[in-house]
Structure 1
Amino acid sequence: MSINHIPVKTLIVALLFFGLRSNAATVDTALTYSAAMHKNIKAVVVKPDDYSTSKKFPTVYLLHGAGGKYSDWVTNVPDKQTVQKLADLYDIIVVCPDGNVTSWYFDSPVDPAYKYETYISSELVTYIDSHYATIKDRSKRAITGLSMGGHGALYLAFRHQDVFGACGSMSGGVDLTPFPDNWDLAKRLGKYSEYPKRWEENSVINMIYLLTPDKLAITFDCGSSDFFYQVNKNLHEALLEHNIPHDFTVRPGAHTWEYWGNSINYQMLFFSRFFKK
């Protein structure tokens, strides 16, 4: 489909309700263990105000960007209560894992200490489903993130459609190949000049072949002044070419927390609609 915008009226009603409810979400810091990497890894877990083990909740996994950490989404957004309020509003559990600064959320073919695809898609999901009152089904599990995390969310969802039913990206680095000297990518994949196939195979834009129409609910957006704008536009056009339904939105903005703090509202509304189907 073409560029899609969530109806303004719908968002206004949601945000009005959002403002009327008292924010009572709780924020846990979970210490999880990765057998694949032989280490403990922290994750923020945001539980909605009516959380109870007698009720089951959908889950959204929310990934940070390069240079960031697990706590970014509850400390760096201009309104630091944004994620908590959204957890309350949509009655969901939000999980913010640690991606170790520049993991790019895949299993590195170069460094065995970086197996973040295995960690998030298997180990972390298993831990969360075992320790929290989640609905253990792909139809009630989504993943999104910003920048590196936007790449990671689409990467993980495309490759693990049995785990995630919906996915999103905000300002995502959805094609790695234009950036051979940035964000420690060469440390994770080897130099682009020596291993171009690795870079291409690990870029989201080259994973569309994994998709079938309507199997995944997909939403992604990017600011018109963002350095990742062109690669996101290219992904949108490639999805159109392959007849893969998706929402793609362009808004004014750059690669900033101000942009992501706004974008997350639309992404959570998209996931809430998916969970209610």
Structure 2
Amino acid sequence: MRNLFKGIALTCFILTCSLITRAARVDTVETYSDVMKKKIKAVVISPANYDNLKAMPVVYLLHGFGADYKNWISFAPHLKDIADADNLMIVCADGNVRSWYFDAPENPKSKYETYISTELVKYVDEHYKTIKNRTGRAITGLSMGGHGALYVSFKHQDVYGAAGSTSGGVDIRPFPNNWDMSQLLGTYADKPENWEKNTVINMLHLLTPKKLSLIIDCGTEDFFYKVNCNLHDELLYRNIPHDFITRPGGHDSRYWANSIKYQLQFFHDYFVANNK
């Protein structure tokens, strides 16, 4: 009996060690933007099964205004568990604290559209075992990053096959005095054309129906709720398929930590269907 207990204890110890060693890897990497002539950091989450996989899909996460590349992992540590479960890579990009992910017409030093859509993707594909085409890439983000994810994916449907937004600023025009956007676009009074052509809700003409898989959500108490409902209505009018989710919640990390679970499931289903 004593030997049986010892055997059980040893087995439990081995299983525990196995679980500890099989955990997602979280790295901070330093990339370089040639268009902005500077180094930019990112968090890269690799699944525990990385060494045994031939190639993996990648989800790019964009942070909100005033945050940085560490923001997502700080309030959503379960990203590591999802990466493990789905054999998925997750890249938490840096968009400066206020870039809005434009190649800003009024600030030539801020070219985050080019960085996110070209330079960062190139770095990840060169350094990791990724699926190196649009069917292996998705992008989403929160608030400013929700705007950025849709903005970048609409303009680069050859790079991303799926995109999302949570609590996204999908129409910036109602907020002309907020979040330093005038430093990037000029004031709305002086440069209205910059605002009109760089707001997501006015970019739907770029979409080819059924080419980009879309998921959009926003809490009903969020100050961006109305503009997200307007975007949903416009997508319906144009017969562009998309998932649109609303639930009680505000513009906060509690909502986003819950939302990202649904968005990553949506992307997982897309990857499975398109990479057989």
Give the Cα separation in 2 of the matches to 1:22 and 1:75. Answer: 22
**Residues 84-103 of structure 1 aligned to structure 2 (within 5 Å):** 84-103=80-99
Cα offset, 1:197, TM superposition: 1.2
Where does residue 56 of structure 1 map in the other structure? 55
How much has 1:53 moved relative to structure 2? 7.2
The whole-number CA distance in structure 2 between the counterparts of 1:74 and 1:191 is 34
Q: 1:225, 1:273 → 2: CA distance?
A: 29
For each residue in 1:132-165, what CA deviation from the matched residue of structure 2 results, as whole angstroms up to 9, or x when unmatched? 1101010010000000000000001000000000
RMSD between aligned residues: 1.4
Q: Give the equivalent residue in structure 2 for 1:6.
A: none
* Structure ranking higher on relative contact order (CA contacts 8 Å, 6+ apart): 1
When residues 258 and 21 of structure 1 are mapped into structure 2, their CA distance, relative to the original with a 3 A threshold, is: farther
1:246 to 2:242 alignment: yes
- Distance of 1:194 and 1:82 partners within structure 2: 44
* Structure 2: segments with no counterpart, 5+ residues: 1-18
Q: Distance in 1 between matches of 2:32 and 2:93?
A: 12
Corresponding residue pairs, total: 255
Asked whether 1:225 is paired with 2:221, we answer yes
TM-score by length of structure 2 reads 0.90
**Deviation >3 Å, runs of 4+:** 20-23
Q: When the two structures are superposed, what TM-score results if normalisation uses the length of structure 1?
A: 0.90
- For residues 66-110 of structure 1, give each alpha carbon's deviation from its aligned partner in whole angstroms, at most 9, with x where no partner exists: 000000011133xxx211111111111000111100100010011
* Greater radius of gyration (CA): 2
Report Cα offsets for 1:99-138 as digits up to 9, x if no partner.
1001000100111110000001000000000001101010
The 8 Å contact of residues 157 and 164 in structure 1, kept in 2 or not, is answered as: yes
- Alpha-carbon contact 2:210-2:240 (below 8 Å) kept: yes
Q: For residues 269 and 23 of structure 2, what CA distance do their matches in structure 1 show?
A: 22
Whichever residue aligns with residue 204 of structure 1, its letter is V
Query: Which structure carries more helix by proportion?
Result: 2
CA distance in 2, matches of 1:255, 1:105: 19
* Contact 1:53-1:132 at 8 Å conserved across structures: no
Percentage identity across aligned positions?
Answer: 58
